[in-house]
């Protein structure tokens, strides 16, 4: 099996990465930075986002495993002290036989950003946000090529089901099970009065729908794709829809989504 490890860079994560390499060498696992079958993320959810974007061009051909050393490891199945057990499960030795990973796939968000200076395509694991730099954002929101609303406020957050537990949750959005292929639109401090109106509630769009966001004034904007920031001052539009691609996670033991939610927010 070909593997790669990406760690958060703190002392504990680096130590665990070194331990993983040592155990992997003893089991004849092959370290491969170019075309791994399994990518091990050691850290927090931010580390998993970094790992995802590092190997984004290879996501149809690999799976991710998270080892938690951060404050909130929503994507992580394993604790730091369980590293030897994870290696056993990956190699199918000892009491772990004949465990094989169950591949679980989560939906992703596809973005087409159109600027006066050119167009780019992106994929998000958690969310895409659009915010104003200098003041109130003025954008037109279309759903399936029909104008839905003229939004004024701080911005919008469009999230995947797995990302629904992140920034979207703090905006009052719903938590969505990853088996539901959808994207969620949540407002960030919208303006609602006698003159300006927005829906004021999160919206959930199914896979076969799309959303277009049009800039309706000269404005400096900050676009964020997961942890990556893109300053833009010439935005024309952004098309958002559920991607045909999915991220794969290798599950060597059960860890249901609602158990993750409970452990992350209630325990």
Q: What is the reported pTM?
A: 0.93
Binned average pLDDT, 10 residues per bin, the chain of 267 residues: 95 96 93 96 94 96 93 84 92 62 95 97 98 95 97 97 96 96 97 90 97 97 97 98 97 89 87
45 is catalytic: yes
> Rounded CA gap, 170 and 2, in Å?
38
The binding site for NAD(+) consists of 45-46, 50, 126-127, 152, 154, 165-170, 189, 228
**Exposure on the CB side of residue 73, measured as CA atoms within 13 A:** 18
Instruction: Report pLDDT for 157.
Output: 98
Q: What is the largest CA-CA distance in the chain?
A: 69
Residue 167 has which token pair?
A: 């920034």
User: Please, are residues 64 and 58 in contact by the beta-carbon 8 Å criterion?
Assistant: no
Report the pLDDT value the prediction gives residue 184, as an integer from 0 to 100. Answer: 98
Residues flagged as binding site: 45-46, 50, 126-127, 152, 154, 165-170, 189, 228
Nearest residue to 227 (alpha-carbon basis) of 183, 154, 163, 173 = 163
Catalytic choice (10, 32, 45, 212): 45
Helix or strand (DSSP H, E) at 51: helix 45-54
CB 151 within 8 A of CB 139: yes
User: What letter would DSSP give residue 74?
Assistant: T
pLDDT at position 264 is 85
> 202 with 85: CB under 8 angstroms?
no
pLDDT of residue 92: 77
């Amino acid at each position: 099996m070909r593997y790669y490890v990406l760690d958060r860079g703190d002392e504990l994560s680096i130590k665990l990465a070194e331990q993983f390499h040592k155990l992997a060498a003893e089991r004849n696992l092959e370290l491969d930075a170019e075309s791994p079958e399994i990518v091990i993320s050691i850290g927090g959810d931010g580390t998993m986002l970094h790992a995802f974007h590092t190997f984004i061009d290879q996501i149809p051909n690999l799976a991710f495993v998270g080892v938690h050393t951060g404050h909130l490891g929503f994507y992580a199945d394993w604790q730091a002290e369980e590293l030897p057990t994870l290696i056993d499960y990956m190699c199918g030795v000892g009491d772990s036989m004949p465990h094989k990973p169950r591949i679980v796939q989560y939906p992703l968000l596809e973005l087409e950003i159109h600027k006066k200076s050119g167009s780019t395509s992106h994929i998000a694991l958690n969310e895409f946000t659009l915010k104003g730099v200098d003041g109130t954002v003025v954008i037109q929101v279309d759903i399936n090529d029909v104008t839905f609303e003229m939004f004024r406020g701080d911005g919008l957050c469009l999230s995947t089901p797995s990302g629904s537990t992140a920034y979207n949750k703090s905006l009052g959005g719903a938590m969505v099970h990853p088996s539901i292929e959808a994207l969620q639109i949540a407002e960030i401090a919208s303006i609602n009065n006698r003159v300006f109106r927005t829906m004021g509630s999160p919206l959930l769009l199914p896979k076969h729908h799309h959303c277009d966001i049009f800039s309706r004034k000269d404005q400096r904007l900050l676009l964020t794709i997961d942890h990556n920031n893109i300053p833009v001052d010439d935005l024309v539009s952004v098309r958002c829809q559920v991607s045909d691609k999915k991220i794969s996670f290798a599950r060597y033991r059960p860890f249901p989504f609602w158990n993750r939610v409970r452990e992350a927010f209630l325990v």
